[in-house]
Amino acid sequence: MYALLNRIEKPEDVKALTVRELEQLASELRHFIIDTVSQNGGHLAPNLGTVELTLALYSVFSFPGDKLVWDVGHQAYTHKILTGRRDAFKTLRKKGGITGFPNRSESVYDAFGVGHASTSISAALGMALARDARGEKNQVIAVIGDGALTGGESFEALNNAGDLGTKLIVILNDNEMSIDANVGAMSEYLSRIRIAPQYARAKRDMGSLLMSIPHIGDKVYKTASHLKDGVRSVLVPGSLFEEMGFHYIGPIDGHNIGLLEEVLASAKEMEGPVLIHIHTVKGKGYKPAEQAPDKFHGVGCFDPSTG
């Protein structure tokens, strides 16, 4: 049942897999998580939503040299399984067993001990500044959900990171939920972005159109720096993240491993802070959790065949 998963002895093993194999591994990981959580309890729906993202991260980056900071920890089961804790995962929520959250005393791959929401960006920014002070070149990645992004510390961290301009990758895992449905201005802003994929297409098409004008196209394109902001202001209200100093990418399908690998690899080469906005389904791959993600956020023991 776990033909590929049983071959993953260390995180580097993920890098040797093709996209098709990674998709198979994602399916095996979901079954493995559901089986364990159904017996022990745990955070189910949020972890089912980040399987492909975690695989793409381990395919592109080199941990623990690169640093991965999870927000809250409700989304880190796949990360724990891939980092030498597959066999210990059955001890989840048992006395003497592994913790349900990243824990620095448990693994060198757990870069930050997590216990509260909205801390990942500020923690990752501190690691990035320490890296710069030491003259090192490793990548620092923070993963934060749209629910945690509504917390004040997240806004402070975004503001500070954009102002400092140091290299940092923030992945916004947008599943339109925290424990329950999100509310507030940030939630409404993200909703507008989700329904405006035409922005990227319009920006690209307009640039191509200008470049095609004989003799003057190149000059017009280079001098029309306001064009991007003009198009964006019409199609994507606010563009908050770019205004705060981040390169913004998205929203993209957070379950498309090939696309995630491409985007993450590109983000590695970009200068300054980058925010990648992915859209995922909370409870992905398990119908009862997809239909009632709030009820399957944190669960006790249950029958996986019925939910």
Choose between 300 and 72: higher pLDDT. 300
Assess if residue 208 is contained within a domain. Answer: no
Number of domains in the chain: 1
Assess if residue 277 is contained within a domain. Answer: yes
pLDDT band at 129 (very low <50, low <70, confident <90, very high): very high
Q: Are the C-beta atoms of 177 and 294 separated by less than 8 Å?
A: yes
In DSSP terms, 42 is beta-bridged to 299
pLDDT band at 18 (very low <50, low <70, confident <90, very high): very high
Assess if residue 87 is contained within a domain. Answer: yes
Provide the whole-model pTM: 0.82
pLDDT tens column, 285-302? 999 999 998 899 989 999
pLDDT for 219 equals 59
Alpha helices for the chain (secondary structure H): 19-40, 45-48, 51-60, 77-80, 120-134, 152-164, 185-194, 198-211, 217-223, 226-235, 240-243, 257-269, 287-291
Assess if residue 214 is contained within a domain. Answer: no
pLDDT for 114 equals 86
Is residue 222's pLDDT more than 90? Answer: no
Assess if residue 201 is contained within a domain. Answer: no
Write the CATH number for 290.
3.40.50.970
Is residue 251's pLDDT more than 60? Answer: yes
CA dist 281 and 215 (Å) reads 48
Assess if residue 183 is contained within a domain. Answer: yes
Assess if residue 293 is contained within a domain. Answer: yes
pLDDT for 221 equals 52
pLDDT for 179 equals 47
How would you class 217 by CB atoms within 10 Å of its CB: exposed for 0-12, middle for 13-18, buried for 19 or more? middle
* Domain around 125: 5-196+236-299
Assess if residue 202 is contained within a domain. Answer: no
